[in-house]
A and B are shown apart, each in its own frame.
Chain A
């Protein structure tokens, strides 16, 4: 009798992969506190993405977050150009172009995430068709070489001439 080994499998442990990077980033964030304070409001779209992204792997968060971060570099540039002081935070955050850049980055992330399934579907269909054609061709070659009986092993009837 087959014994189910489902119960024997260890329960998946809750992932805590974010703790270590967070611990490593904490000193950096503290050292670069003005930059951190600028990036927190700039990365609000990423926070939103994280909230609406329920899927494991958090690809939406990564997609939006990475480009949101890239867009937020405008603020970072403004801040670092002003000496990276606490007094430069407000002027930096007052730069409309900075906000535009950060939000455009986030928007680009959203756009990629939304358009990618369409692109993937097209590519998958193309790939599937190509592979199927190759298989059919190989099968035809086998039939040409060995005759119709070669199909029988696959449980297929012989093709009528």
Chain B
């Protein structure tokens, strides 16, 4: 929490200094700053401040006990108040995930990818690289974590600038996102950095294999190649051959590297294999399983391709050419003749049929290309126009494009076309993450088409990634990943925005809908009804009340004040003037307690107060109307019409005269009787 002045303190112990940058420890988009441990002042620490727009897995690490890990492991982690901007010389405070690390004593192995790699012998590699790697992978394996950032630029010498190494941190940025393509498997290498899967230990072992190979060779044979070319080389020759580049390595190293660089996950060496290899056990070398070659090549994207995965890779990277190419039928013909497979027409017809069955009609050709890539390379990421990502990384992929309208539209088209589900249908076996992804994708189908707040692409963002921070303009700087932090964040953000700003926008609505775990369709429908300001404002209140029901916060004075002001038109909608005063007074009391639940009940359209008001008003209207009718009748001479007065006068005369005469007769009778 921010303490006095500009101090940033984590867990009342680690002070992070925003003014002291330590850019040498930056990790991708996460920036490093100096940090001080107030309990052990002598320790040299640095803190990584992760971007506020992406989930940070370093915040939810399991507690680690036991021996020291040969990697940078957070001393502490949490969300801190952080200066996120500057307004007229005054810092604007937000919140950011912070990870505090001990500064490595040794130098970084490689400051940048351009620097020359050290050339290490087999023994040095085993002692200085594999040994700490085994230790780290064992510990991470126990915690079911993958490092996903194993590369020379993220490694440090334990001391000085040579000898045993330790691995860098891996929790400050998205898994695999900072990895150069060469360190990623074919599947993840083909995906965009933010579309790479969270991965498993198998991905770490692959990256370790690449690391060992290039350190053994002292160079990266694929250096300078683009992502497409690197992936194409790995597809065509197998990762080991592509990376070895024809250089000879010793049989024991070849055995190790072939095992670690097996492109098929089931053939890849496991931690156990590596451990046994270190103990001296020999294994049969894993031979690469290369894709089936066609009898003749196919020209596309400026190159000739001999296998289906190679063509799929080329299609993914040359989308504009791919659409007319697939549409022309040339690919289909090649698949039939090049592989002498006349039966391929049937699955291809299915691919086309599915592409035309789901999604908007104008994107059918694009979806056909996407499904063709999936057909030719089942494990490849889902590719659609400029997007390439693994289904389990759709959340981070969307987070990276949501602020770019063209790419965002492409992502929505991808979801509407059921391309993720199509990809999952092609997998022979699904992981737990993939099963969960299917469930989410199926659920998203119902909401992605709806344009209102709480639905559409914003909802997809939060459904696809449970830890995604809310990207609302209002609270985007507060790193809100959980519903319990939402209302305090809105309360904190309100003083910095214009008066009258609604505390719920599309992102907040979608965030609530995705996280609250109960239907909020009614609230969202009201929120979508912007033309009916009363319903809209009640929708805002109801959503906030729904959050408060789930996470009871009652110290939200600024939000309460804003809500009381926002609800003024709703109060004014009460017909009875006295009722308005009563409601206003009650609202004031509830505002003082930040009780939005009671506010929603008080102003509920179906509530007793509202019902009484409406029925009373209707009755009053009827009364007024009947009084008006009577008044108009009177004004039109209802009682004073001459004919009526004449008739009345005649009648009155007769009665008066009769009465008088009767009296005289009675008096006469009495007189005569006497």
Contact = CB atoms under 8 A, between A and B. Distances in A.
Contacts of B625: 153-154
A135 B629 CA distance: 10
Contacts of A131: 630, 634, 639
Contact of B627 (A125, A138, A146, A152): A138
Contact of B660 (A67, A119, A146): A67
Contacts of B651: 57, 59
A121 B641 CA distance: 9
A77 B627 contact: no
Interface residues of B, number: 44
B576 interface: yes
A119 B623 CA distance: 33
Given A117-B645, A120-B648, A154 B577 contact: no
A120 B640 CA distance: 9
A116 interface: yes
A124 B658 contact: no
A144 to B, nearest CB: 7
B668 to A, nearest CB: 5
A120 B645 contact: yes
B627 A135 contact: yes
Contact of B628 (A59, A73, A145, A156): A156
B650 interface: yes
A16 interface: no
B575 A135 contact: no
B652 interface: yes
B582 to A, nearest CB: 13
Interface in B613-641: 616-617, 620-625, 627-631, 634-635, 638-640
Given A63-B657, A73-B665, A135-B634, A121 B645 contact: yes
Given A120-B649, A128-B639, A146 B661 contact: no
B653 A149 contact: no
A119 B653 CA distance: 10
Contacts of A105: 661
Given A57-B650, A119-B649, A142-B623, A73 B656 contact: no
B631 A135 contact: yes
Contacts of A121: 640, 642, 645, 649
Contact of B672 (A80, A136, A152): A80
Contacts of B84: none
A138 B644 CA distance: 27
Contacts of B661: 66-67, 69-70, 105
23 contacts: A63-B656, A63-B657, A63-B658, A66-B660, A69-B661, A69-B665, A70-B660, A70-B661, A70-B665, A77-B671, A116-B650, A119-B652, A120-B652, A125-B640, A127-B639, A128-B634, A128-B638, A131-B630, A132-B634, A138-B627, A139-B624, A153-B625, A154-B625
| A-B CB proximity, top 8 nearest | A153-B621, A66-B661, A117-B649, A70-B664, A59-B650, A59-B654, A63-B657, A120-B649
